[in-house]
Amino acid sequence: MANSAKRGFFSNAMSAIVEARTRQADRYVNGALLMLDDETLRANGYKREDLAKRATTSYLY
């Protein structure tokens, strides 16, 4: 029983770390994409307004 509780804790902790790093990477990519011109963004299926909105979204860690 103690082993399953520890495994659950570490599994949950690892999942939280992976989720936090994923959000961090998304913010980094959004910032890099916002440096591109509008024509390039449109050609690749992005809208500056959507990227800007996602870049300003705050997350609680």
Q: Which domain holds residue 41?
A: 2-56
pTM score, whole prediction: 0.65
Does residue 10 lie within any of the structural domains?
A: yes
Q: Is 30 helix (H, G, I), strand (E, B) or coil?
A: helix
Does residue 61 lie within any of the structural domains?
A: no
- The pLDDT confidence band at residue 54, using thresholds 50, 70 and 90, is confident
pLDDT at residue 8 is higher than 60 = yes
Distance CA 34, CA 8 (A): 39
Distance CA 47, CA 17 (A): 29
Average of per-residue pLDDT across 38-54: 92
Specify the number of domains making up the chain.
1
Contact 41, 51 (CB under 8 A): yes
Give the model's pLDDT for residue 61: 46
pLDDT at residue 5 is higher than 80 = no
Average pLDDT, the chain: 85
